[in-house]
Amino acid sequence: MVDEPAAPESGTRARTRRAILDAGVRVLSQQSGASLAEVAAAAGVGRTTMHRYFPERADLLTGITNDLLEQIAAATQRARPEQGPAVAALERLCQAYFALGDGLLLTLNEPHLFTDPAWNEEGEPERALLQLVERGHAEGTIDPGLSPAWVQDVLWSLLYAAWMHARDSDVPEHDALALCLRTLRKAVAP
């Protein structure tokens, strides 16, 4: 993870890069087979320009992968999963991840898109969540019948459901998140 050893990356470039990455997530989360031209258009950028930032399709995917991993790591850290009661921490995590938006869909929907080795490595976020659940088991505040791995899957799938619910059933995002939290809280209760 050694980044920019001396790559200040002029503000303009950084902005363009962001626009492309965001457009990539937005477009690919809906059509994983979308053409690069579509992504470029969605980013409001010429196909040539995109090619300058990400020479091949694989490079774009790598870029998105790293970006998502960073965002997930940042969200995890922000939620302080090791502090306070387990259930409260779990809800904080849920809220933090919800902010990933379309990244959620991409993460869950198209895991096979990410061929990067970095993707499937057990990351710090994973570990934090699993430990969190074990803490809940010890506290007696999380149903011991639900394995940590299963709780993890439930968390992500509920996030997915909530995001889609907001997107398709045009429920305000805030309400969708509230439903998600309420459902999660009850689901993990002993």
Partner DNA sequence: CGGTAGTGGAGCATCAGTGTTCCGTTTTTG
Partner DNA sequence: CAAAAACGGAACACTGATGCTCCACTACCG
- Return the ∠ at Cα 71 (arms to 69 and 73), rounded to 5°: 65
Closest approach of DNA to the CB of residue 173, in Å:
30
Query: Is the Cβ of residue 67 or residue 143 nearer to a second copy in the bound state?
Result: 143
What single DSSP character describes residue 122? -
Percent helix, strand and coil across the chain, each rounded to 5?
70, 0, 30
Contact between 72 and 61 under an 8 Å Cβ cutoff? The reply is: no
Structure tokens at 46: 């010429």
Contact string 30-49 vs a second copy (x = CB under 8 A): xxxx----------------
Closest approach of DNA to the CB of residue 74, in Å:
24
Closest approach of a second copy to the CB of residue 97, in Å:
14
Alpha helices in the chain (DSSP H): 11-28, 36-43, 47-53, 57-79, 86-98, 102-109, 117-120, 124-139, 148-168, 173-188
List binders of a second copy among 80-109 (CB under 8 A). 109
- 57 touches DNA by CB under 7 A: yes
Q: Which residues bind a second copy (CB under 8 A)?
A: 30-33, 109, 112, 143, 145-147, 149-150, 153-154, 156-158, 160-162, 164-165, 169, 179, 182-184, 186-187, 189
Q: Which residues bind DNA (CB under 7 A)?
A: 10-13, 15-16, 35-37, 44-49, 51-53, 55-58
